A = this chain, B = another copy of it.
């Protein structure tokens, strides 16, 4: 299948190209971008006229729990602990594999409709989540969530191993070793998971210092002054994606910088759960690679990474009282190429370049909120939202065209999810 995108404005996020190029054609053959140039003339199966539109890489969400779509807006009026104990855990307990499949399908649709083409998930009944991703055509990195207090208790790691085998042929699916958190496992269990990651050359994905209580628990349980000491001591030979990192002090940030660690910043969830605001400016000053996550909709409300980009920029400008911080182009990097680096997929995705995989979105900026354009990058960060995404292409396949999802029936899936929440709600 050959697709030719004509006459577009390109934000490639490639260091080899101009930041913004006008009147560009992009030729896609099967899953790859084969040519980027002005005026490509080629016989193709499909031409997309993207005149006055913007093409950019599909967004990469580096932390979520997509099966939680059905728990959206259940947290109002609760503390986090009350919410988990009174709402989430009792509802989760009633979920079966089919529920997880449909709830995940809902999220896959939401992501495709808001311009996300790759996501990094952590949950359970993972094969249902993977099947939903395959069904919709979205790229997924995932795990079987790991937690425990006994290094002889290998059942979850065996599940992960079986998942890796089962889906080894599917190039849209990759795996990491998802350790829930240092506060929900002991050191020997964590070490076993890290060994597995090293043996299988997989990234490690873990919640880390999301709130003050977690920080204090780690300090107490592991007998350290700084939680980051554990990262340095135990996670130095793995590629690590640490989600949240809200409650890090200066020393933690300096220690983490010395490891191969990528931070997944989830500002909206962090605010909503009253965790606070991560010190992103300080992490950037230390050269730590920041990517963006939404967290699950239970706390993050939705999976629209355009919104996350805006919060990321505004929060750091606001709390540091410096409007020059976090330039719009830097924010675009966080949601694209930095996400690809975090997931060890930057050889394939995260920027639009000849030879890379065709994961890209076409944005319609022709509306009253988005014209005139004084600065295209800032316009995308501050005024474009997920609903401006018109067409989404993943692995060279059109998965949404003119806002219509291609592979599944949105209405059927929403109806199914409404029935699930009606059944399990507390």
Contact with B along A344-374 (1 / 0, CB 8 A): 0000000000000000000000001101111
Contact: A321 with B274, CB < 8 Å? Answer: yes
* Distance of A302 Cα from B379 Cα, bound (Å): 10
* Distance of A78 Cα from B80 Cα, bound (Å): 38
Tell yes or no: A222 within 8 A of B by CB: no
* Distance of A382 Cα from B298 Cα, bound (Å): 11
List residues of A (261-320) whose CB comes within 8 Å of B's CBs.
Answer: 268, 270-277, 301-302, 304, 311, 314-315, 317-320
* Distance of A375 Cα from B378 Cα, bound (Å): 33
Tell yes or no: A414 within 8 A of B by CB: yes
Tell yes or no: A144 within 8 A of B by CB: no
Choose from B72, B271, B414 the contact partner of A318 (Cβ within 8 Å): B271
* Distance of A275 Cα from B323 Cα, bound (Å): 8
Tell yes or no: A32 within 8 A of B by CB: no
Choose from B314, B371, B410 the contact partner of A417 (Cβ within 8 Å): B371
* Distance of A122 Cα from B263 Cα, bound (Å): 42
Tell yes or no: A113 within 8 A of B by CB: yes
* Distance of A78 Cα from B324 Cα, bound (Å): 6
Interface size class of chain A, counting residues whose CB lies under 8 Å from the partner chain:
35 or more
Known contacts A314-B271, A321-B274; decide if A417 and B73 are in contact (CB<8 Å).
no
Tell yes or no: A256 within 8 A of B by CB: no
Residues on B with beta carbons closer than 8 Å to the beta carbon of A20: none
Tell yes or no: A183 within 8 A of B by CB: no
Choose from B73, B271, B417 the contact partner of A383 (Cβ within 8 Å): B73
In this complex, which of A78, A110, A114, A371 has the most chain B Cβ atoms within 10 angstroms of its Cβ?
A371
Known contacts A73-B374, A73-B378, A377-B76; decide if A368 and B274 are in contact (CB<8 Å).
no
Contact: A318 with B274, CB < 8 Å? Answer: yes
* Distance of A301 Cα from B384 Cα, bound (Å): 10
Known contacts A79-B324, A383-B301, A387-B387; decide if A274 and B317 are in contact (CB<8 Å).
yes
* Distance of A268 Cα from B381 Cα, bound (Å): 13
Tell yes or no: A418 within 8 A of B by CB: yes
* 5 A-B pairs (CB sep. < 8 Å): A73-B378, A77-B324, A271-B315, A368-B410, A371-B414
